Amino acid sequence: MKILFATSEIAPWVKTGGLGDVAGALPVALRAAGHDVRVLVPAYPPLLQAFPDAPEIARPHWLGGLLPTPGLREAMSADGLPLLLLDYPPYFARLGNPYLGPEGRDWLDNHQRFGLLSRVAAWIGAEASTLAWQPDVIHCHDWQTGLAPAYLNYLPGRRAKSLFTVHNLAFQGLFDHASLFELGLPDTAWGMHGVEYFGYLSFLKAGLQHADAITTVSPSYASEIQTDAEGMGMAGLLRHRSEQLTGILNGIDTALWNPATDPHLVKTYTARHLEGKAANKAALQSQFGLEQRTDLPLLAVVSRLTEQKGLDLLLDVAPQILKLPAQLVVLGSGGHELEHGWTALARKHRSRCAVSIGFDEAQAHRIEAGADIFLMPSRFEPCGLNQMYSLRYGTPPVVRATGGLADTVIDAADRKNGNGFVFGPATAAALLQAVQRAIATWRDPILWRRLQKHGMARDSSWEGAARQYAALYASL
Nearer to ligand ADP, 296 or 331 (CB): 331
For residue 360, state whether it binds ligand ADP (rule: CB under 6 A): yes
- Least distance (Å) from ligand ADP to the CB of residue 444? 29
Residues 378-437 binding ligand ADP (CB under 6 A) are 383-386
User: Of 361, 425, 449, 471, which lies in the binding site for ligand ADP, with binding defined by CB under 6 A?
Assistant: 361
For residue 302, state whether it binds ligand ADP (rule: CB under 6 A): yes
Burial class (CB in 10 A: 0-12, 13-18, 19+), 258: middle
Contacts for 90 with CB less than 8 Å, ≥ 6 apart = 68
For residue 17, state whether it binds ligand ADP (rule: CB under 6 A): yes
For residue 332, state whether it binds ligand ADP (rule: CB under 6 A): yes
- Contact stretch for ligand ADP (CB under 6 A) within 63-71, 298-306, 321-329, 455-463: 298-306
- Least distance (Å) from ligand ADP to the CB of residue 378? 8
For residue 21, state whether it binds ligand ADP (rule: CB under 6 A): yes
- Contact stretch for ligand ADP (CB under 6 A) within 64-72, 318-326, 329-337, 406-414: 329-337
Nearer to ligand ADP, 125 or 404 (CB): 404
CA neighbours closer than 13 Å in the CB half-sphere of residue 156: 0
DSSP line for 33-87:
TT-EEEEEEE--HHHHHH-TTPPEEE-----STT----EEEEEE-TTS-EEEEEE
User: Of 8, 165, 333, 395, which lies in the binding site for ligand ADP, with binding defined by CB under 6 A?
Assistant: 333
Give the closest residue to 468 by CA, choosing from 201, 248, 205, 202. 248
For residue 337, state whether it binds ligand ADP (rule: CB under 6 A): no
Tell me which DSSP letter residue 198 carries: T
Give the closest residue to 417 by CA, choosing from 374, 461, 451. 451
Contact criterion met (CB below 8 Å) for 357 and 332: yes
CA-CA distance, 320 to 353, in Å (whole number)? 12
Contacts for 235 with CB less than 8 Å, ≥ 6 apart = 225, 226, 227, 228
CB atoms within 10 A of CB 470: 18
- Contact stretch for ligand ADP (CB under 6 A) within 58-66, 79-87, 151-159, 377-385: 377-385
For residue 24, state whether it binds ligand ADP (rule: CB under 6 A): no
For residue 170, state whether it binds ligand ADP (rule: CB under 6 A): no
CA-CA distance, 62 to 41, in Å (whole number)? 20
Contacts for 432 with CB less than 8 Å, ≥ 6 apart = 317, 320, 321
Nearer to ligand ADP, 51 or 393 (CB): 393
Contact criterion met (CB below 8 Å) for 406 and 419: no
CA-CA distance, 71 to 48, in Å (whole number)? 13
User: Of 2, 264, 304, 349, which lies in the binding site for ligand ADP, with binding defined by CB under 6 A?
Assistant: 304
Question: What would you measure as the largest C-alpha separation in the chain, in angstroms?
Answer: 68
Distances (CA, A) of 179 to 114, 146, 190, 459: 12, 14, 11, 44
Positive or negative, the CA dihedral 181, 187, 191, 194 is negative
Contacts for 183 with CB less than 8 Å, ≥ 6 apart = 64, 65, 66, 67, 111, 112, 115, 119, 147, 201
- Least distance (Å) from ligand ADP to the CB of residue 49? 20
For residue 211, state whether it binds ligand ADP (rule: CB under 6 A): no
For residue 190, state whether it binds ligand ADP (rule: CB under 6 A): no
For residue 372, state whether it binds ligand ADP (rule: CB under 6 A): no
Nearer to ligand ADP, 376 or 410 (CB): 376
Nearer to ligand ADP, 182 or 372 (CB): 372
- Least distance (Å) from ligand ADP to the CB of residue 67? 29
For residue 179, state whether it binds ligand ADP (rule: CB under 6 A): no
- Contact stretch for ligand ADP (CB under 6 A) within 125-133, 174-182, 341-349, 353-361: 353-361
- Dihedral, 69, 70, 73, 78 alpha carbons, nearest 10: -150
- Contact stretch for ligand ADP (CB under 6 A) within 16-24, 88-96, 238-246, 429-437: 16-24
- x/- site string to ligand ADP, residues 111 to 150, per CB under 6 A? ----------------------------------------
CA-CA distance, 285 to 451, in Å (whole number)? 23
For residue 181, state whether it binds ligand ADP (rule: CB under 6 A): no
Nearer to ligand ADP, 222 or 302 (CB): 302
Please state whether beta strands 213-216 and 161-166 pair in parallel, antiparallel, or not at all (unpaired). Answer: parallel
Nearer to ligand ADP, 137 or 314 (CB): 314
Give the binding-site size for ligand ADP (rule: CB under 6 A): 17
Nearer to ligand ADP, 205 or 365 (CB): 365
For residue 452, state whether it binds ligand ADP (rule: CB under 6 A): no
Contacts for 216 with CB less than 8 Å, ≥ 6 apart = 165, 166, 167, 169, 222, 225, 245, 246, 247, 248, 382
- Contact stretch for ligand ADP (CB under 6 A) within 178-186, 187-195, 271-279, 326-334: 326-334
Nearer to ligand ADP, 403 or 418 (CB): 403
User: Which residues lie near ligand ADP (CB under 6 A)?
Assistant: 17-18, 21, 302-304, 331-333, 359-361, 364, 383-386
